[in-house]
Structures are given as structure tokens and as C-alpha cells.
Amino acid sequence: MDIDWVEAFQTHARGLFPEQLGVRFLEATPERLRAELLVRDALCTVPGVMHGGALMAFADTLGACATVMRLPRGAQTTTIESKTNFLAAATTGSTITGECVVLHEGRRTCVCQTRITDPNGRLLAVVTQTQAVLERRPEPLEVMAGLFEGKSPDAQRTLLATLERGGAAVYRTLADAELDPSRRNVLLAAATREETNADSLERW
């Protein structure tokens, strides 16, 4: 199913910093991401002139979103480097536009460039940023399943027996440190079960 990225980004922004900035997403395609922002007094560094940090934050939002559209399933992103060239002032009451394109798309990083212009098309700032691609960490069960993937049944049984004996050793270590006799007996019983399972697999 195709994702309506404009709606998705606008929905995600609710209650968060991009909404406080006033970012309104206009277009989101593989080629470019566009958004606009009304310059208001709350975003100014001196009366009538938008704070440079607000311009950078606007661009940073677009760069992150442009990267999100390219992430593998479950991955996340964060900005690791950003460079801004300020070329002109953004003034109160004007609606500025940011257009972001991806300059480089790699497995670990994504480099984006955002050009911010005023209503007359005058270039206000150019922001180039690098986004890290943070791969999803597999769940413990996925890690375990990966240990067995591609192995023959015999190799799988051997590996499972090894894991069972490793589990038994952990249980016995815990039992040695346990002062409560009843808990110690539970741990020792668990160790025995693991060892029995390993014996059965090795005799298969």
C-alpha cells in the first residue's frame, strides 16, 4: 500500500517541535520534499527577522523526513552533521518554503540538501545535512532463529545441544549463588532438565 507521506508527516508532527515551528508539508516524493512555514514573532531573533536556528530546524525537519521515506522497515534516523549557509533574512509575516533533495543515499547515511526561499523565490539559506541510518535491532528470538538458519538438521541438533548445555551451566552458576534452599533446588532442577535435553539430542 502506498503511503501518503504528506499526511503521515503532518500527523506525526502533532504535539511535537515541527508543529510548534508551524511546518506545513506540501509535497513528498522520491525526488523532493517541500514544506512551508509562516514566519512569526515567536520565531524571530530580533523584531522582524527570523532566528537562524529556526531556519536550521525547519531544514533539519525536512532532511530527516526525506530520509525517513527511504529507510528500511523498522529503521530510524538521526542527524549527525549539518552545515548552513545563511544568504538573506526571512521576515515576519512572510511564508517561506523549504525544498529538500537527497544528494547521497547509502546503507548507513543519507545526505540531504534543503534550499529555503521567500515568497519571491529569493534564496534565504542552504542547509546540507547528514542523516545516520539506524537499523532495527532484532528481537532475541530472531537472533536465536538466525543461529539455526541454513544449517542441516544434524548441525541444528548439535547447536541446540550446545545451547542446552550452556543453559545448564548458567542455571548451576545461579544455584551456587542462591542462599534460599528452595530456589536453589528449582535452579538445579532446571539445570538437570537442560542436561537431559542435551543428552537426548546428542544420542539422536
Express each pLDDT in 38-95 by its tens digit: 999 999 999 999 999 999 999 999 999 999 999 988 899 999 999 999 999 999 999 9
Q: Residue 127 pLDDT > 90, yes or no?
A: yes
Torsion, Cα 173 179 180 185, to 10 degrees, reads: 30
Closest residue by Cα to residue 59 from 85, 93, 29: 85
Structural fold of domain 5-134:
Thiol Ester Dehydrase; Chain A (3.10.129)
Q: Are 128 and 113 in contact (CB under 8 A)?
A: yes
Q: How confident is the model over 11-35, as pLDDT tens digits?
A: 999 999 999 999 999 999 989 999 9
> Taking the domains of the chain in order of start, what are their residue ranges?
5-134, 140-202
pLDDT at 1: 56
Name the H helices within the chain.
Answer: 5-12, 17-21, 52-68, 140-148, 153-177, 181-202
Q: How confident is the model over 130-157, as pLDDT tens digits?
A: 999 998 777 778 778 888 888 998 899 8
